[in-house]
Amino acid sequence: MLDIKEIRKNPEEFEKKLQTKNPDIQISPILALDEELRHLKTKVEESKARKNHISKEIGLKKQKKESTDEFSNELALLNEQIQTQDLKIKELEEKLHFSLSVLPNLPLDEIPISPSPKDNVCIKEFGKKPSFSFPFKNHLELNERLKLFDFERAAKISGSGWPLYTKFGARLEWALLNYMLDTHRKNGFTQIIPPLLVKPEIMYGVGQLPKFAEQLFKINDKDYHLYLIPTSEAAINGLHADEILEEENLPLCYTSYTPCFRREAGAAGSQERGLIRTHQFNKVELFCLSSPEDSPRIYEKMLQSAEEVLQGLNLHYRNMLLTTGDMSFAAAKTIDIEVWLPGQNRYYEVSSVSNCTDFQARRAQIRYRKKNEKPQFVHTLNGSGVATSRLMVALLENNQQEDGSILVPKVLHKYLEEEITILKPI
């Protein structure tokens, strides 16, 4: 959330930057609400001061056994007025809070300004696109003989858009997850296993509520009102909510594996079928809390750890610096890591690394304290390290052989219980 005090100082600059993310944003209605609220708070304080004065006068009159009728009538009117003003203040505070809660984070100055993802900037490439001397297949065509996934039975269980990994597909998925977690632990990230269901206030803190409520899965009955996490970022951001951390304990760098859940499950057409976009997917998350001064360094640490995963698998990818209009709600800077998928003839995002500055920390009230200084908000950073569904597609499609088998990268051999180098069709 943005600080209304900072918005007051330079509303034109805030509006200009916010409109690079969403051109429909207007600051003036928010400032008008803020002004009305502050004016009303001044009036109610005056009313309460008058009430206190009159109460003292009534006390003195009663000591002298004098009539208090004149003051009593005014006191009754003041009590009624204060009650009305307090209700109005609460109403205005809720309106102002909501108005601020749907404003996105400010982009950093280095971010390219454009509403279109077509203007994202490629800042790095690793490896080269594979070339095939035979007609190559997409992951669904490969799966017809390999039998790694069973989408028909998954649909029987849960409906369309849900994955089911079978036989060697399940083992390969688990190998990928262990490989990624080992990589990130080696790079200084502490592994945790967070809950998959979180409270509404935790979703608010990470920036998922109120704006994205319709995109979330939730349970809401007489005992529970909880949301399934769309990413473990939501849970880890809540880990230190309402806490004041000590500067010497920063940065805090976490990694976790969780299933993730989202409502939108792909457009029609072959490119979005299979594992490309599903309601449930597995992801290894990177999440850090740091001081503002250290967040650029931590950002690079997270990006490098995510890239190391893909480099170990020898997959061709590129890093794209996102434009202001293509960044997420909470992000001030985002680099997407996009891997090449031959079967789709395009790049797909497998990791998105973002610096959210103090935006989430302000919503979740996560602060840190320097010695002898007033507590200030931390910076939060998150990234996929990485999501396995599209990574699995990349691994299968980029390593396919002419006979329909798959060359399994060497970094995964130790996780497969045996020295499997070629995944043979069934």
Which residues form the catalytic set?
Answer: 262, 277, 349, 352, 390
Q: Are 150 and 164 contacting, i.e. CB atoms less than 8 angstroms apart?
A: yes
Tell me the C-alpha to C-alpha distance, in Å, between residue 332 and each of 1, 293, 323, 357. 12, 15, 10, 7
Tell me the C-alpha to C-alpha distance, in Å, between residue 148 and each of 38, 69, 224, 276. 62, 87, 36, 15
DSSP per-residue letters across 367-378: EEE-TTS--EEP
> Strands 346-355 and 280-290, how do they pair?
unpaired
What is d(CA 302, CA 210) in angstroms, rounded to the nearest whole number?
28
Phi and psi at residue 221, in whole multiples of 5°? -130, -170
What is d(CA 240, CA 249) in angstroms, rounded to the nearest whole number?
13
> Strands 422-423 and 406-407, how do they pair?
antiparallel
Residues constituting the chain: 426
